[in-house]
Structure 1
Amino acid sequence: MVAQSLSSLLQRATIDDHEEVLQSCNETLAKSKNDIHAQHIKVIALLKLDRFEDALRVLEAGGDALKKRAGLEHAYALYKCAKLEEALDTVARSDAGRGASHLEAQVSYRAEQFRRAAEIYEKLSQSSSPEDNDLSINSWATDAQLQWKGEAEYVRHERPSREDLESFETAYNAACLNIAKGALAQGEVLLNRAKNICQTSEDLSPEDRAAELLPISIQYLYVLIRQGKTEEAEALLKEISVEDIQELSTKKVACNNIVLARQTAVNPFVLYKALHETPEAINNDRLFDFQQNALLGNSHAVDLLVQKYDGMIRSTAKALSKSPCPSAEASTNRLSVYNAAGYARGETGQKALKQILPVLERRPKDLGLLLTVVQLYVNAGNTTSAIIAVERSLRSLEESISEADQDARFNPGLLSVLVALYQREGRKLQIQSTLAQAAAYWRKKPEPPASLLRAAATSLLHSDDRSDLATAGDLFRFLYQQDSNDRMAIAGYVASQATLDYSQVESQLDRLPEISDLVAEIDVSALESAGIAPSASSAAAAAAAFAGARKRSAADKEGRATKRVRKSRLPENYDADKKPDPERWLPLRDRSSYRPKGRKNKQRAADRTQGGVVTEKAEESPAPQQQKSGGGGGNAKKNKKKGKR
């Protein structure tokens, strides 16, 4: 009886008749409450009607048996209700085959697990299927998100093919990837193509065409603003109707770009009101992290423009209290920057530091706050104080037993800031020790950052300590084990071990390219003429050659013509045949021909003569005399005339 009613139910069902299917399911379940077939069809009908929460309630009421039977539907309902972690767990246990893979990729994309989504789409693309076009569209979108998230090394697409440019969806996603890379001009070209294809598509109704053109125009507006094309941006505003945008996330982005395009920033209070008119998007309609961070930054910036300093401090402090500290997340550290800006109250330089430094003393583990202080010190030219601030915070992290604090202590980004500061002051030993400690710490972790290990190993190569060279060799060997195609790791290993044990690296020399091959296409003359400084040896040789060219022998000097002197510069009664007196430059009394006149002058001349007779009177030196306050000596008192008392 149940099977007959179910069969008749399915015969009456059509794609546009989900309400009737739901009504028939309810009638069947009223007679047989545990009819799992009817429950399953009811869940599908509710999903078709976008009643996702009602579908979840039916699934919960049906128990594990219904959830197992309708695993794919259960995961989809969880996804639409923004329960992404539960949806991923459910779809992973589902045996729905290719459909489950599509849903897992979609949920991973919404959960911003873009690397996992890209892996699934690549696996699905290995076998041809009717949904190849959809896979291409979604794969391009995933790569754009990877680029925006800063994981460019996992991006698979580089340049769109001819087939990709035949679909406006693929062209649009390819434009987004170029925009994320910063190639705005190329992104503008692809957006134009996507717009033209969409406008001329015969497969879209006028309503669908208008709905598809809206996000393209909003993205186009962003590109024009970034390129400074204000006139074109103002013309494009006429094509965008914010009231027609159904998705709150798209509407919020559109309002932000429209406000900026209209240049309402001349009045910060008008700008503040305009940016806060659109309500927040929720559930699966919410913004991605990189979008949310940008809009949140705009909101905080306009708060500062209208001098809401105390409100800025309270709101950012509340958000920071919900985040782990220390944190390497960009969004968390950005909040710390705005929190510091609230304390600075519009001031910069030393005045801002005076307000922010007490806050850093209370929160030494706040990395965003620390970087703000470092930036202010560097702008003021005070590198030493910036180094002291970083080292003080690192000591606070080092004293903690928390694993998260230790990860932050050796965070590659934070250490790169410290190394850059050390380089400004030429502290090579501190750079080596800092990188060596970080490398020793991260080698114990399952996924150590290769960039930090490479920097540490390269720095240790410049050390004269054999133990440092051995450590560099171990690091380069570890990098080679992680990537056998890493030529830098091979070269570094050879360089570190060549002076320690040449026999260990002799077999690796064949894997390195010949020097002649590396410099084969280099034009040395062109480099030098372009301003490249020569090496020390060649510069020394050139200097020696130049000095030799300036030297002349005595014969060359004699052979040169005598320089002609003007008559106006010659003295009176000048005789060219008479040899000039060689002592003419000396004072008269210092010349050998000088003969003093008179007894006193003769005595002085004799006293000045070297090698003359020295008398005892001349040897006596004058005794120091103590000046008397009364002035004058005994004779002065005798000769003093009597005056009135």
Structure 2
Amino acid sequence: MAASAKSLASLLAQASLDDHDEILKAANAAIKKSKGDMTAQHVKAIALLHLDRYEDALAVFEAGKELQEKAQFEYAYALYKTGNAAKAVQVAEAAGPDAGRGTKHMLAQAAYRSENFAQAAKVYKELASQTVEDEEYDIRINSGATDAQLEWTGQGELAQKKQPTREDLDVFETAYNAACGSVARNEFGQAQVCLKRAKDLCNALSDLSDAEKEAELLPITVQQVYVLTQMGKVDEAEELAAKIPFADIKELSTRYIAQVNSIAASKEHSNPYLSHRLFHSSPQPPVTDQHFSFQSNILRQDEYVISLLSQKVAGVASSTEKVISAAPAPSLSPAVNMAAVLNAAAHAKHAKTEKAALKEIVPLQEKRPSDVGLILTIVHLYVITNNYAAATNLLETFFKRLEQSGSASDLDARFAPGLVATLVSLYAQQGRPGASKTELAKAAEYWRKPHKSKTEAPSKSLMVAAGTALLDTHNTENVKSAGEIFKGLYDQDNEDRAAIAGLVAAYSITDPSSIPADLLSYLPEANRLVSDIDAAELEKAGVPLGSLTSVTLAAETRKRSIAPTQIAPSKAKRLRKARMPKDYVEGKKMDAERWLPMRDRSYYRPKGRKGKKRMEGLTQGGVVTDEKGTPAAQEKKAGADKGKNKKKGKGTKW
């Protein structure tokens, strides 16, 4: 074994970086003589990694634990390159805090690929604090990509940069990452600016060949198509998508997204059956180039929608039912809840109105009472039909059921920020601010207490909203609770302006003397706040009055009666020509009773005998007569009518 190790060492001393095939042959020869030679095994694994034979390298590491412990960095790298990023994180973490920078870089990359973006951001921040000149550029790029992913997954408060900076627009990679972060925040105008800047910087590079530039520009163009589509510029998006050579995109995951986006941006693909065929003809990416979960969810949603448009209703209902039944309920998984929404859409496919859709969907709740996606769909339909009371009652009943179960997963779903925000929005729509504050306070209290939760940290936006609502109550106990909430947020990020402002506001009510001086330095000075206000002009303009009570109204009346006033002459109203009578003469006084019927005017005098008789009948208390006869004639006529009703006697002949 000593001789083989010596020959292998001499070969390594003479070899260059391009001789990995020769190194592999020598390592295999040494292992053939002694299978327990760990040095030869280690050399073989490294040579295979350099030759991009990652599966073979992983097989060498999996053969024995001794080599895994000896070469943790190489083992983690082999796992990462073969698509097992989660296990690569475990191996890199096992190296401990004293691991070298290479292992830390490996840990950050594996955490990023396994979608543990908070851990990746933490490691990159640690690496950036210990600056190494050759790594600064790579750390900036990778940190920018991590920040964008944190925004996509709803953890934007953990991002190191909330907005693109000037230095981000100096290099095309960082400009592209800044654009991705803007897309995640729905800031598409800013994203478009960053993407154009990234293209210009890439084209200006002199150390890249034309083929290399084209490879770098393709993902930027694919992102531009998406941004233009979201901005409503479908014609520009379609024109740009038509210029993309899909076959030249080497990463199959990017090519798949590019082809799907081209279908969405194309007017020619309005035929759902054609779109369905093109969608499924796109190449599926390999295991080592899979989409992130938020991308996979959107792509799967697109697939279900295209299937529904293609009348494949039964297939969508069946496939989504499998996704829902495979997950425990209630579930906060976006994939499961998205499947629930589309499952409801499949059941209500033939409904023409929202009320008809409710009749089809509400019975599903009996089978799946804890389906979050289904409940939110029903709530949404209730809101569309202006039935806010039913929507609120449905959500409150669901929350009570989860509270009564008492399990950790059910309580996590009960106080999920999205569901709490939905109920608070319903309360706000109904004008119930007290109920909103109570709900926010309960959610904040739950997340502040230690419990067995799958969630690492409570939502910052939820805690800020809860703290603000508690401050608005002006109750001493609630203000103290708000102070504790903002104190927790301040401990997480001592530069968070919302946490600082809330903490100062709470302490100023409960204990002003305990406000740290460094917090007050963040607040703007009073002189700056009133620098653009002219007190003399305000006094000259007067103070606007609010709603006056009976007491203040009396005081205002006294003030006005004491103050000398000059009554301004009233201006004569000018009538329009359409309102003037035909015989109108300027300067002549118009008849005040001209709008009344002639017989109702005070100066009306009837002419002739018939007119006078008619006037007597209209007089209050006068005898009512008919025009065709006097009272005597009417009486005589009545007597004649009486005789007509007499029966004929027996035997009487006429």
Structure 1 range deviating more: 12-21 or 364-373: 12-21
Shift of 1:31: 1.0
Matches within 5 A, 1:251-266: 251-266=255-270
Q: What secondary structure, in the 3-state scheme, does the structure 2 residue paired with 1:399 have?
A: helix
Relative distance call for 1:99 and 1:390 in structure 2 (3 A) is same
1:202 maps to amino acid: S
Instruction: Name which of 500, 507, 515 aligns with 1:486.
Output: 500
Are the counterparts in 2 of residues 453 and 475 from structure 1 also a CA contact under 8 Å?
A: no
Are the counterparts in 1 of residues 417 and 462 from structure 2 also a CA contact under 8 Å?
A: yes
2:104 maps to amino acid: S
Tell me which residue corresponds to 1:612: none
Do residues 536 (structure 1) and 561 (structure 2) align?
Answer: no
Matches within 5 A, 1:445-594: 445=450, 447-449=457-459, 451-456=461-466, 458-459=468-469, 469-480=476-487, 482-483=489-490, 486-492=500-506, 494-495=508-509, 520-521=530-531, 536=546, 569=591
Structure 1 range deviating more: 224-233 or 107-116: 224-233
Structure 1, unpaired ranges of 5+:
498-503, 572-583, 586-603, 606-635
Tell me which residue corresponds to 2:84: 83
Q: What secondary structure, in the 3-state scheme, does the structure 1 residue paired with 2:121 have?
A: helix
Tell me which residue corresponds to 1:50: 52
Are the counterparts in 2 of residues 198 and 209 from structure 1 also a CA contact under 8 Å?
A: yes
Tell me which residue corresponds to 1:117: 120
Matches within 5 A, 1:236-385: 236-237=240-241, 239-347=243-351, 348-385=353-390
Instruction: Name which of 389, 394, 398 aligns with 2:394.
Output: 389
2:481 maps to amino acid: D
- What is the distance in 1 between the residues matched to 2:281 and 2:111? 31
Are the counterparts in 1 of residues 111 and 117 from structure 2 also a CA contact under 8 Å?
A: yes
Listed one character per residue, the Cα deviations across residues 130-179 of structure 1 (whole Å, up to 9, x for unaligned) are 12221222122222222222222222235666665443323322332333
Which TM-score applies when normalising by structure 2? Answer: 0.76
Q: What secondary structure, in the 3-state scheme, does the structure 2 residue paired with 1:203 have?
A: coil
Shift of 1:568: 6.1
Shift of 1:7: 2.2
- What is the distance in 2 between the residues matched to 1:17 and 1:566? 118
Shift of 1:69: 1.8
Relative distance call for 1:643 and 1:365 in structure 2 (3 A) is farther
Over the residues paired in the alignment, what is the CA RMSD in angstroms? 4.2
- What is the distance in 2 between the residues matched to 1:398 and 1:560? 69
Listed one character per residue, the Cα deviations across residues 99-143 of structure 1 (whole Å, up to 9, x for unaligned) are 111111111111112222222222222313212221222122222
Matches within 5 A, 1:599-610: none
Tell me which residue corresponds to 2:596: none
- What is the distance in 2 between the residues matched to 1:432 and 1:64? 56
Are the counterparts in 2 of residues 304 and 346 from structure 1 also a CA contact under 8 Å?
A: no
- What is the distance in 2 between the residues matched to 1:205 and 1:42? 34
1:437 maps to amino acid: K
- What is the distance in 1 between the residues matched to 2:200 and 2:524? 52
Shift of 1:295: 1.6
Q: Percent identity, please.
A: 40
1:199 maps to amino acid: N
Do residues 101 (structure 1) and 104 (structure 2) align?
Answer: yes
Aligned length: 567
- What is the distance in 2 between the residues matched to 1:474 and 1:7? 67
Structure 1 range deviating more: 535-544 or 161-170: 535-544
Tell me which residue corresponds to 1:600: none
Relative distance call for 1:461 and 1:88 in structure 2 (3 A) is closer
Are the counterparts in 2 of residues 458 and 492 from structure 1 also a CA contact under 8 Å?
A: no
1:78 maps to amino acid: L
Matches within 5 A, 1:624-635: none
Q: What secondary structure, in the 3-state scheme, does the structure 2 residue paired with 1:365 have?
A: coil
Do residues 33 (structure 1) and 69 (structure 2) align?
Answer: no
Do residues 226 (structure 1) and 230 (structure 2) align?
Answer: yes
Are the counterparts in 1 of residues 470 and 482 from structure 2 also a CA contact under 8 Å?
A: no
1:52 maps to amino acid: Y
1:90 maps to amino acid: V
Matches within 5 A, 1:617-628: none
Shift of 1:198: 3.0
- What is the distance in 2 between the residues matched to 1:159 and 1:404? 35
Shift of 1:83: 1.8
Instruction: Name which of 195, 198, 222 aligns with 1:194.
Output: 198
Tell me which residue corresponds to 1:71: 72
1:71 maps to amino acid: Q
Relative distance call for 1:200 and 1:416 in structure 2 (3 A) is closer
Are the counterparts in 1 of residues 31 and 41 from structure 2 also a CA contact under 8 Å?
A: yes
Do residues 427 (structure 1) and 432 (structure 2) align?
Answer: yes
- What is the distance in 2 between the residues matched to 1:346 and 1:545? 67
Shift of 1:387: 1.2
Listed one character per residue, the Cα deviations across residues 551-580 of structure 1 (whole Å, up to 9, x for unaligned) are 999x999x9999999566399xxxxxxxxx
- What is the distance in 1 between the residues matched to 2:570 and 2:186? 68
Shift of 1:355: 0.7
Are the counterparts in 2 of residues 477 and 490 from structure 1 also a CA contact under 8 Å?
A: no
- What is the distance in 1 between the residues matched to 2:299 and 2:176? 22
- What is the distance in 2 between the residues matched to 1:453 and 1:181? 20
Are the counterparts in 1 of residues 156 and 162 from structure 2 also a CA contact under 8 Å?
A: no
Listed one character per residue, the Cα deviations across residues 266-296 of structure 1 (whole Å, up to 9, x for unaligned) are 2111111111112332423001122222222
Are the counterparts in 2 of residues 264 and 270 from structure 1 also a CA contact under 8 Å?
A: no
Relative distance call for 1:179 and 1:38 in structure 2 (3 A) is same
- What is the distance in 1 between the residues matched to 2:516 and 2:11? 76
Shift of 1:235: 4.2
1:272 maps to amino acid: H
Are the counterparts in 2 of residues 171 and 191 from structure 1 also a CA contact under 8 Å?
A: yes
- What is the distance in 2 between the residues matched to 1:35 and 1:340? 61
Structure 1 range deviating more: 154-163 or 402-411: 154-163
- What is the distance in 1 between the residues matched to 2:141 and 2:50? 24
Relative distance call for 1:351 and 1:552 in structure 2 (3 A) is farther
